[in-house]
Structure 1
Amino acid sequence: MSSHLIRFHLAARCRRVWSGGLLNGHAIHQELMRLAPDNLGKNPRQRAGVLWRAEENSNGITILAQLNQPPHSDRLADDFATDVDQRELTPMLNALTAGARVRYRIAANATKRHGNSASEEKKGKLANLHGTEAELWWLRKATQAGLHPLEVTSTVLPDILGAPTKDRHDKQRTIRHGVTRFDGIGIVTDPDLLHTTVLDGIGRARTYGCGLLSLGPA
């Protein structure tokens, strides 16, 4: 399966992807699905392999989006994306070898589910992880993905908004997903597994800008 990366600047005038000072992951997801073919049936994001990440820099917000097929970049709205660039990731992923050192970056929704020892209010609900707990979460996920981190730097990023939903009182609310970015250097332990993980993503909230694992030479 092929893999393609598209990178662009989020247009400064695109206000529809912001809400209350936070990025609206649901709105960005809807825009990015224009990159995928039509008529994908059920679970179109998974079938197109759409994963994405927002990165803030001195020029504003850069969006990186990954798909398992060539993206239809001409479908992106002019008031959403500028300076669009794309490249194929397949050669790099196919070249992964056991023992190779790589740089990695991922913005992830590091969470745990409260167990039976939690209060009734929290029992069974998800909690965002921070600091050492978040880094341990990433080390476990990376190891399961065929990557052995030699170092890790975690950075808490602003929450990102998900799709609107209704609570038990039938009131509409929007879920906020916690985001932590993990950067570092690691050693490839299982190239095939790591390749598959890059295509599939890691963790929760993949629709809303979490889970895209980027690799590069160390």
Structure 2
Amino acid sequence: MPYLSRIRINPLRAQSRKLLASPRAMHAAVQGGLPGPPEQERTLWRLDADNPHRPLLFVLTTGKPDWTHLVEQAGWPGADGEHYAVRDYAPLLRQLATGRSFAFRLTANPVQNTNRPDKPTPRQQERIEAGDRRSFRLGHRTATAQLNWFLTRTARWGFDIPTAPSLDGTHDTDNQPPRDIRIITRQRRSFGKGPLTPKETHVVMHAVTFEGRLRITDPALLTERLLAGIGPTKAYGCGLLTLAPLPERA
């Protein structure tokens, strides 16, 4: 049974600063809330720092977690209020139906596969010269490319993005009406998988947060993406798509 959690993070504590600065450290903290072996627990997480004074950590787990350790290390353990909330995800999944619209948010790592990078790194150049035919996974760097990555994949994720409400008939540069989606944050991050990780095996990711309105076209496909995540680097805070109900229009 899946559960969606929301945990309050206190950014002024030393452990919090470590978690907020390192996706690898945050991943370890998330795994620490699950009683089973890490390889048996599939998790997705996302850090929402719209308010830098009150960042929120969202986590989707397959089993019921306990976030006491996060509250003690990176929250307000002695304060009033709800330090974390854990909700059964099944009621939301039962609401999914073709044609229904939801507000959404997703932090993803938009990537492309290519055999010839425009500006290969020394390591990539070595592979090319050695005749390695495997493709390279490269992150999209511009907002236009990142948005296009999202919009060209929605059909395989079980939804589409409706036209944005508009009163003036504005259109995009390709003479198409604008979609109801926006990028709210873009961040390039580079870090090692461990304290002794060689530089050439560092993780490099372009974390992009999208939000807007989606319309369901295939509830089964959307359910799969909600539970399994979207895109690569899921262990490091990418891939969690969350939905919020919208008033149904007459």
Corresponding residue number in structure 2 for 1:159: 188
Kindly indicate which of the two structures has a greater share of residues assigned to strand: 1
Corresponding residue number in structure 1 for 2:25: 27
Relative to structure 2, which stretch is displaced further, 67-76 or 193-202? Answer: 67-76
Alignment RMSD (CA, Å) = 2.5
Corresponding residue number in structure 1 for 2:143: 131
Q: Distance in 2 between matches of 1:134 and 1:205?
A: 15
Q: 1:200 aligns with which of 206, 211, 228?
A: 228
Q: Distance in 2 between matches of 1:117 and 1:81?
A: 43
Deviation at 1:203, TM superposition (A): 0.4
The verdict on how the C-alpha distance between 1:37 and 1:134 changes in structure 2, with shifts beyond 3 A counting, is same
Corresponding residue number in structure 2 for 1:61: 55
Q: Structure 1: give runs of 5+ residues left out of the alignment.
A: none
Relative to structure 2, which stretch is displaced further, 200-209 or 48-57? Answer: 48-57
1:209 matched to 2:237: yes
Contact 1:16–1:27 (Cα < 8 Å) also in 2: no
Deviation at 1:79, TM superposition (A): 1.6
Contact 1:110–1:137 (Cα < 8 Å) also in 2: yes
Matched residue SS, 1:211: coil
Q: Distance in 1 between matches of 2:161 and 2:114?
A: 27
Q: Distance in 2 between matches of 1:14 and 1:29?
A: 18
Q: Structure 2: give runs of 5+ residues left out of the alignment.
A: 77-82, 129-135, 163-179
Q: Distance in 2 between matches of 1:176 and 1:10?
A: 25
Contact 2:4–2:58 (Cα < 8 Å) also in 1: yes
Per-residue CA deviation, residues 99-125 of structure 1 (Å, 9 max, x unaligned), is 101111101111223333735546725
Matched residue SS, 2:35: coil
Matched residue SS, 2:208: strand
Contact 1:24–1:160 (Cα < 8 Å) also in 2: no
Corresponding residue number in structure 2 for 1:72: 66
Q: Distance in 1 between matches of 2:89 and 2:20?
A: 30
Per-residue CA deviation, residues 175-201 of structure 1 (Å, 9 max, x unaligned), is 342111111111101111111110000
> Hey, which bits of structure 1, 4+ residues long, moved more than 6 A?
none
Relative to structure 2, which stretch is displaced further, 60-69 or 159-168? Answer: 159-168
TM-score (norm 2): 0.73
Q: Percent identity?
A: 21
Per-residue CA deviation, residues 77-114 of structure 1 (Å, 9 max, x unaligned), is 50224421121111111220011011111011112233
Q: Which has the larger radius of gyration?
A: 2
Deviation at 1:6, TM superposition (A): 1.0
Deviation at 1:161, TM superposition (A): 4.9
Matched residue SS, 1:187: strand
Corresponding residue number in structure 1 for 2:158: 146
